[in-house]
Structure 1
């Protein structure tokens, strides 16, 4: 039985888009007959044992702390991570290392792969330097940005195979000189065992939130996720006056939190339609479906940037799996997931008016809703079901299997 060790930034029991994709990959690989484990770096900040089981998956942790000025701190972090991976490899003897971005994971895994002669797959979910810009912790073109990009390119060059989550990332790597045949696209997916059975609408919860008028349900626009600036939630709030001018009963539900939370709440309080906007805050993962069930349309008004043009988000797929209507900004990452006029509605990015018009148009054409929902669900089942997509990893791993023998001989020589 093939053993695959996944090298990760962080993992369950932390809840994030990153950990949910990881869980889906590892569970699907287990179902295909692989033995899988994970090892996380210093950015897994939850307290826990050196080896921790979460949801039936085993994760090893990296001990220690990396301090000092930028650059030295990251280099020390890679060194400690390398030691942790080395210990697991020496004890468990995996057949293959599968590192997931950011590049720190790939660099640490590369050192161990070279030492033991084990094939290395490097999977990119987003470019770390662009994610830092999107999160407000970095600046495009800065020294740190350029050094991070250089490290990423180095890891890609040294890996035996590269996986990306979407075509935007693949095209960027090809433009950097990576051979096309080295790259496999593994689209973002949904575990339909978790998101495939929507809950019934909780009428008591809807009433408590003011989503009924004279006994009639209000149409609800929803966003469930992290509150980063690039998500464009300020534009969504700014769109509400124009939307309610056409649909006075429309309501906006915002579930989650993040760096923009306080600013968004201030903006909503100052809005002339503040009474139509509800903030819930963060909720336990097992309660998320209750809030999905209240929403008619899930809105994703991402702002245009390198990050949003290159990277496909996970949340719209979860919404389509839940049978929700989807309205999203017309950026590259959304265009890979949503077909305008068939599985959802796309509108001009960075434009609150365009957002309001798109949302109003969806709410006013209830006759189209069933068609959108069927097409969206079919899109997920056909192209984004992890139970099917994970089989693509088999092709990548099998391509590298002869390498396992040859590298082992070279390492022993």
Structure 2
């Protein structure tokens, strides 16, 4: 059996979307086909002991393409008979690729995740990405948006192929029970708009709060459930207090991953009006939360940032709105709360689409092809 060496900084127990994506990709592969070289992190030994494939931790919290790290990767590839290398994030570790090819590795694949679209807009970072791409057989992108921005700089140096994150459709399901979450936060039977994301400006929780008074004008008993923590939290709490919304807006703080399906299920509508910031350097590559919400049978309201619109079938599974207009966002939310039957139909359509296009079964086949070449 062909074996793959995975070289990555983004690996549990370190938390984050890329880490979750990489771990889920590896879970689709036969365990005996994998070896992982990863940076270290508190709790790594306990985490790795539960995995069905070997993980070698570099003695550093940040694995870089140094000569020592490259020699370690080459040694692991030889010792374990790995003829393929997958870089969990192509930059900067993909700089190892030429040396690994010289050591006998047959095929090298690297992943991008969205932030690289900002890199290729900057001259020095673009040159780095071009060097990395030139050493790889394929470089993956997560959405058509990111492809369109990577291709002009990198498309003549390697093959670009889509590898999007997938959704665990057995975990994120319409059968998820949100009653305990509703009870915990005193939501009762009120209509609930839920947003699950880190509290950072790009995600648009501030726009939800700014427009919430307009939603309440149409639905006085509605509640806004903001799930997640982050640097925007203090500012949001001040804004909620200043607007007198303390009785109708709930901030949960960070939530364990295992509780996320119940939090999606506690909402009647999911909304995250994400917006692009910093002249395109701060952008939503795709937006897995939209797909997780759809998998839970909830209609989705997304912003226009980056690849986010690709997670919505407009008018069928939800809506894409102007994320800089609280009035536009509030109007769409009010319309969905006006018509629960329509909202449920959109949620059902979203679930069917996720099963067809975004499940890990589909993504697993793509990943297997990328590794085999």
Q: Same fold (TM over 0.5)?
A: yes
| Equivalence for 1:330 | 304
Unaligned runs of 5+ in 1: 67-73, 132-139, 400-413
Match of 2:295 among 321, 343, 346: 321
- Matches of 1:300 and 1:118, distance apart in 2: 42
C-alpha deviation, 1:8, in angstroms: 1.6
Identify which of 68, 73, 82 aligns with 2:70.
82
Partner residue, 2:193: 221
Q: Is the 8 A contact 1:97 1:119 kept in 2?
A: yes
- Distance in structure 1 (CA, Å) of the matches to 2:93 and 2:233: 30
Q: Give, in angstroms, the shift of residue 249 of structure 1.
A: 1.0
Equivalent pair of 2:300/2:317 in contact (CA under 8 Å): yes
Give 2:164's aligned residue: 187
Alignment-derived partner of residue 39 in structure 1: 37
Deviation at 1:333, TM superposition (A): 1.1
Equivalenced residues, count: 371
SS at match of 2:323: coil
- Structure 1 position 376 matched with structure 2 position 364: no
Query: In structure 2, the residue corresponding to 1:336 is in which secondary structure?
Result: helix
SS of alignment partner, residue 171 of structure 2? helix
Aligned residue among 112, 115, 125 for 1:148: 125
Deviation track 1:35-62 (CA, whole Å, cap 9, x = no partner) reads 1232223xx5324339923454543211
| Alignment equivalent of 1:103, drawn from 91, 97, 119 | 91
Residue 174 (1) aligns with residue 170 (2): no
| Equivalent position of 1:19 in the other structure | 19
Greater mean alpha carbon deviation, residues 177-186 or residues 324-333: 177-186
The question of 1:211 aligning with 2:211 is answered no
Note if contact 1:239-1:352 (Cα within 8 Å) is conserved in structure 2.
yes
Shift of 1:310: 6.6
| Residue 5 in structure 1 maps to residue 5 in structure 2 | yes
Q: Distance in 1 between matches of 2:66 and 2:102?
A: 15
Matched-pair contact (CA < 8 Å) for 1:129–1:149: no
Shift of residue 93 of structure 1? 2.2
CA distance in 1 between partners of 2:204 and 2:58 (Å): 35
Which structure 2 residue ranges, 5 or more long, are not aligned? none
2:61 and 2:11 map into 1 onto residues whose CA distance is: 18
Shift of 1:63: 0.8
Over 3 Å counting, the alpha-carbon distance change for 1:81 and 1:220 in structure 2 is farther
Find the aligned partners of 1:354 and 1:117 in 2 and give their Cα distance.
Answer: 53
| Displacement after TM superposition at 1:197 (Å) | 5.7
Could you say what the CA RMSD is over the residues aligned between the two structures, in angstroms?
2.7
Per mean C-alpha deviation after superposition, the further-off stretch among 104-113 and 249-258 is 104-113
Alpha-carbon distance, 1:181 to partner: 8.0
